[in-house]
Amino acid sequence: MKTQSRTLEKLVEQQLGKWNFQFKERKKEKVKPRPIISISRETGAGGSKICKRLAELLDMDLIGSEIIQQVAESAQMSAKVIESLDEKDVSARDNWLESLFETRHLWPDVYLFHLTKVIGTIGKHGNAIVVGRGAHYILPPEDTFRVKIIAPLDIRIKNISREHNLSTTEAEKYVIKTDSGREAFVKKYFHADWTDVSHYDLVLNTRVFSVDAAAETIKLAFLSWPRAAKE
């Protein structure tokens, strides 16, 4: 547990250092940060591999749901991330989050407070692919290219069975349980339907796509998105 915590701290410190450098460069060149790509994915649809490849293709930071979850649950780590913005960006982030809580009637418990602040901060820094944790419900849609990666259930079960060395029955239980957990998380914290495709700009079915082809497809769609095309 201590080793995991130290690893997390190291990752966060590295990201903070990167953000600090990028901020100085943007300020020098007077340019806006690149927008965010948020990725929601069905279990077994290949989302993790696709996100990793996409980050390489676009030279963007990849920030996974596990890291976001752990940072949001750590007061010390949350504080470091939340305080990494300048005053102007802090104000813009907090104004957006305040309106989000009001319009969606969200209950501001401690976890959701930290989660939204952490993801909101990542959004202000930009140039990142954010995986899961309801990022597409938190970040402004005009600055976030929202993607969902799906696949037929039988294919997802086969993928999980192969990747985790599970029987078909075990893999099916794992897929259903994991997706049910994600759906419940979204419903509890954002009062939203995880399966509603209107929350996404692109829904990609990986039934006939390789990892590389899926990543290339998302890349092309993102670069043709008006907000990204301006960069």
Look at residue 70 in the predicted model and tell me its pLDDT: 73
Q: What is the distance between the alpha carbons of residues 201 and 182, in angstroms, rounded to a whole number?
A: 19
Question: Would you say 32 and 124 are in contact if contact means Cβ atoms under 8 Å apart?
Answer: no
pLDDT in tens, 113-168: 888 888 888 888 888 999 988 889 989 888 899 999 999 999 999 999 999 999 99
In angstroms, the CA 32 to CA 55 distance is: 19
Q: Residue 187: is its pLDDT beyond 80?
A: yes
Residue 74: name the closest of 110, 100, 41 by CA.
110
For 16-46, what is each residue's pLDDT tens digit? 777 777 766 666 666 677 889 999 999 999 9
C-alpha span between 219 and 217 (Å, rounded): 5
DSSP bridge pairs for 62? 129
* Among 7-11, 76-80, 95-99, 215-219, the range of highest mean pLDDT: 215-219
Domain ranges of the chain: 35-226
Residue 2 pLDDT > 60: no
Q: What average pLDDT score do residues 45-63 get?
A: 93
Encoding tokens for residue 64? 């996974």
Task: Indicate the fold that domain 35-226 takes in CATH.
Answer: Rossmann fold (3.40.50)
**pLDDT at site 120:** 87
Mean pLDDT, range 183-194, rounded to an integer: 88
Tens of pLDDT, residue by residue over 77-123, are: 777 787 777 777 788 878 877 877 877 777 777 788 888 888 888 88
The number of residues making up the chain comes to 231
